Amino acid sequence: MSGSLLLSNIHIVTKTKVIENGFVGLRDGKIDYISTSPPTGNYEKVYISRENFYLLPGMIDIHIHGGYGADMMDATAEAMNTLADNLPSEGTTSFLATTITQNHHEIEHALKNVAQWKQSNEAQAGNQAQCIGIHLEGPFISKDKAGAQPVQWIKQPDIPLFKKWLDASDQLIRIVTFAPEEDTDFAFLSLLQEKNIIPSIGHTNAHHDMINLAAKHGARHVTHLYNAISSFQHREPNAVGAALTNENLHTELITDGIHSHPLSIKLAYLAKGSDRLIMITDSMRAKGLGNGTYEFGGQTVTVSGEKALLNDGTLAGSILRMKDGVKRIKQLTNCDWTEIAKMTSTNAAAQLGLDQLLGSIEVGKLADLVIWDESGELMMTICRGQIVFEKKEADH
């Protein structure tokens, strides 16, 4: 990977502050210069920022099934390329390809496909979002909280089967969503810890005591907060109450205003803070395609407006773009840009153990970056030092 680019006179959003009118140099796919003064070295290209443009780390979507006509479960290189090609247009520079509950052969086929595709794309020049692993959502979940996961394929944690899948994925599984009440002796949870895989509580009907006990045994993540987990009651806080109050649990949040009421989004922000929230899309193949009928996990999904629904009215993933989620949470919470960087990138990178390469703007890290205007419009996406998306002048 070669080439160099200087971003000049731009507000740089770091982990702790905003450096106004700064300079960031990108060379050979990495960040090599950050300062309030221009560099003495030469760069092939110079981007002069407009006033009040903000530079943030590229967004990391750790829970995404598909979009733009493709789904991870299609198990084709074409589907993976479609996702990777289109995600920079919404500001996503890295993602975890996410499965859905299916028969074990289809899951294995999809896992193998990601491993093969990733291996063949290792030398890519940086013109796509990068797949940094796999999120296995199901089938080790509760039938009582299936949501849009096909009930007929749900099963209790199966350690030999999971080990087979892990090998099929070339050890790329980074997160596993499971229901802790189905893992009766926490043997599966222990295996995930042993393999350095994030155990994520989701699609669970467990009581708050069970959630907190799972957290004591090493669970450290909650899948799409509020959705497909036991709901909060003032005398029975259940999974939602535990997720909001347990400081050892990071929580995913779909900020489309549909999966969670705007007030619930604000409540999550107030309870967890920007240090423990991770924004996700949980999007499916209909994202970017408009109204119509689509497929998700072998089920028919109808998209109308901003909703994607199964025939029985169950929400079936989302059609949310990360950039729209950012705009909504900023409007709802009045959070600042440093908090946006945490919730869209820094926290995810840290959870995944990739914070030496991703998640913040620091010298030596990958040059995965996004530029926003002060109103929350995405202006540019840079993947490994290359400008991959730029908002057209006429659209601004």
Binding residue positions: 137, 148, 203, 224, 227-228, 235, 259, 315-317
- Rounded alpha-carbon distances, angstroms, from residue 67 to 135, 148, 280, 281, 303: 16, 16, 13, 10, 13
If we measure between CA atoms, which residue out of 61, 65, 56, 141 comes closest to residue 315? Answer: 65
Q: Which two tokens stand for residue 355?
A: 């914070």
Q: How far is CA 92 from the centre of its chain?
A: 8
List binding-site positions for substrate. Answer: 148, 227-228, 235, 259, 315-317
Query: Are 324 and 280 in contact, with CB atoms under 8 Å apart?
Result: no
Strand partners, 380: 371, 390
CA–CA separation, 129 vs 7, rounded Å?
Answer: 20
Overall residue count recorded for the chain in this entry: 396
Residue 196 half-sphere exposure toward CB, CA atoms < 13 A = 8
Binding-site residues for Zn(2+) sit at 137, 203, 224
Output the six-digit token pair for 101.
């509950």
Selected catalytic residue, list 32, 74, 183, 282: 282
Q: Which residues, in sequence order, are CB contacts of 277 under 8 Å at separation 6+?
A: 250, 251, 253, 268, 269, 342, 343, 347
Which helix (H) or strand (E) segment holds residue 367: the answer is none
312 is catalytic: no
Distances (CA, A) of 273 to 62, 245, 250, 336: 19, 11, 10, 12
Which residues form the catalytic set? 282
